[in-house]
Amino acid sequence: MDINLNQILIDHCYEYAVDLLDDTGEFYPFAAFTDKSGQVHPLEFEVDKNKIPNNSQVLEALTAWCTTEFSSGGITGYALVFEAAVTLEEGKPSIDTICMDITTSDQTDLPIYYFPYELKSDGKVTYGEAFAVIRDKA
């Protein structure tokens, strides 16, 4: 396959996350997956307005669906996207990030990607420089 599934997922998910933050100032977990032709499809958790789950429950449900479909060969890759507070230096405050945990059939040992952002008091969002962290193999 000549398509870089990792980059396709990053591009799609980053654009969607930025749209969410810019439009609402809020961010909730979501996912995206690639089919066998390399097309990206968004994946969100359907919420019952009378019983709204917390973010970890949403992420667990998205993870379960994606891992099952990936293991069975139904999808070729997926990205789980959620907010993560990250401390870059000891003793410094944490920063908010858009975190992407990506799994694809064409690349192994992908890092976890982080895209820093800051919600300003005027409601505008500023975005920092992205970075990636290699997974702990332990």
Query: What six digits make up the tokens of 77?
Result: 């890759």
Q: Report the C-alpha gap between 14 and 34 in whole angstroms.
A: 15
Q: What is the pLDDT of residue 108?
A: 79
Please report the pLDDT score of residue 47 as a whole number: 67
More confident residue, 108 or 64: 64
Stretch 107-117: mean pLDDT: 92
Q: If pLDDT is split at 50, 70 and 90, which confidence band does 138 have?
A: low
Residues 6 or more apart from 49 whose CB is under 8 A from it? none
Domain ranges within the chain, ordered by starting residue: 5-133
Provide the pLDDT for residue 25.
87
pLDDT of residue 1: 43
9 vs 138, residue with greater confidence = 9
What is the tens place of the pLDDT at every residue in 9-39? 999 999 999 999 999 888 889 999 999 888 9
